[in-house]
Each structure stands twice: as structure tokens, then as C-alpha cells.
Amino acid sequence: MVNVGVVFLSFGGTPEHQQITQDAIDSCIAEDDAVDFTVVVCESVEGITYKNAVTVNPPNNQPFNYNGYMNSCRTLPEFGACKYIALCNNDLIFEKGWASTIIKKMEECDVMSASPMDPTEHADVKFEDGISRGHTVTLYPRHVAGWCIVQDLRIYDTLKSLDTQAQFWHADTAYAAQLVNLNIAHMLVEDSKVHHLGGKTISSSLIPVHVRNLYTDASPVNIQILNAQRAALEEDEV
């Protein structure tokens, strides 16, 4: 049995949003006898806890930064026995066996970074031997699904930490650029299926505008840099 850590970032500002996170947890750990899951939710609202997970709040009132929060969470002692970690949005529904399937492919292909496929988002992807290698973010076939990235923790021997120049949008671009610059492969795995619900938490009108802005703002300089990185990544993949 393999030990897999899972980090969910959550803003449980309403019961609806708390249920989205709980549904993600429940589907993530459902009926996968080959995996021992350790789940941590980094919850931005104090006083909320989730079943079948350790709930933590952002460290030291750290301002929201997607990759920054992931950097803090992945080093928690709860993950001490884990060989793999999944960095996840909370608006996901996982199909049974998603984790053991993606890990098996990562081990077969000796790859330390991978994403599951969304049956809608990746419906037209042409897979070869069950995988599609690459680093595209928005350009077809969108290899780096920023809403769920599974890593062999040995990747941090080279990667060191996730790039934090973007608060939320473009965080996947920054990560993809790191992989390319360090010559680290990434792949999309056909039979590991996760449904991305499409930003239901931060896009909701129930979340105050000033809070949504914490998740979506980035400085103009960073946006310019990240857009250039994304264009370069996708040009290389064509």
C-alpha cells in the first residue's frame, strides 16, 4: 500500500462551499484499497473542520497565495510517511481508483509530476499508452491541470519549492515553467479521472468581491511575465 498525501485549499464561507470541500474529500478517499490517504484541508475560514481530514488554517495569517499555501502545507508533519502528494482545488469529484491509477503510471514511466484527466475538459485528447506527455496549460491538450497535480515528493530535491509569483490564476503556468526550466517531465493520465467543477467556490456571488479578489488578483508585472511564460510553453509544445 502506498501513502498518498492530499492538500485541498478551501474557502468555506457558506455551508454550500463547505459541502463542496467535503464532497471532494469523500470522493477522493472512496474505495481505493491500494492507497492510504492522508488528507489536509487548508481552510481560510477559522472554526471550520471536515470529516476524514486534518483541517489547518493558513500559517501566520499569510495572505492568500495558491502555491504559497501549498508550499506550507506539503511540509506538514502529517505527510511524513507519504511518498506522493496531490495538490488540489476543492471543487473536484474524484472517480474511484484515481490515485492508484495515476501512481501506477507515474512509476511505470518514471515521471514525478502528473495530472488526472477530466472527462469533459480532456474529452478530445489523443492518449498513447494511456498518457499524454507535455507542459501545456491552456493550449490543447492542457497537460498541466492546475486543479490537481500529483507529485512524487522526490521532485522537491530538484524543484525546491513552488513558484509563488501568482496568487491564484497563472499558478499552474508558473509551475509548468519551473518543470520546463528544470527538465522535469509531466503527463496527463487517461484512466485517472477527476471531474473539475470549474471554480464553484471563488466564482460564487455568495463570496464577497473583496474576498474573491484575494484569489484572483495579481500585479500587472506578474501577469505580463506569466503570460509570456505561458506563450513560450505552448509554442514549444506545438
CATH number, domain containing residue 45: 3.90.550.10
What is the spatial distance between Cα 158 and Cα 140, in angstroms, rounded to a whole number? Answer: 27
Query: Which residue from 138, 216, 200 is spatially nearest to 172, judged by alpha carbons?
Result: 138
Number of domains present in the structure of the chain: 1
Residue 237: count other Cβ atoms within 10 Å of its Cβ: 17
Inter-residue contact 22 to 50 (CB < 8 Å): yes
Could you tell me the residue range of the domain that residue 142 belongs to?
2-237
> Quick one: which of 121, 94, 95, 235 has its CA closest to 188?
121
pLDDT (tens, 9 = 90+) of the chain, 238 residues, equals: 999 999 999 999 899 999 999 999 999 999 888 999 999 999 999 999 999 999 999 977 788 899 999 999 999 999 999 999 999 999 999 999 999 999 999 999 999 999 999 999 999 999 999 999 999 988 778 899 999 999 999 999 999 999 998 888 889 999 999 999 999 999 999 999 999 998 555 444 444 444 444 444 444 445 555 566 666 666 655 5
Please, are residues 7 and 56 in contact by the beta-carbon 8 Å criterion? no
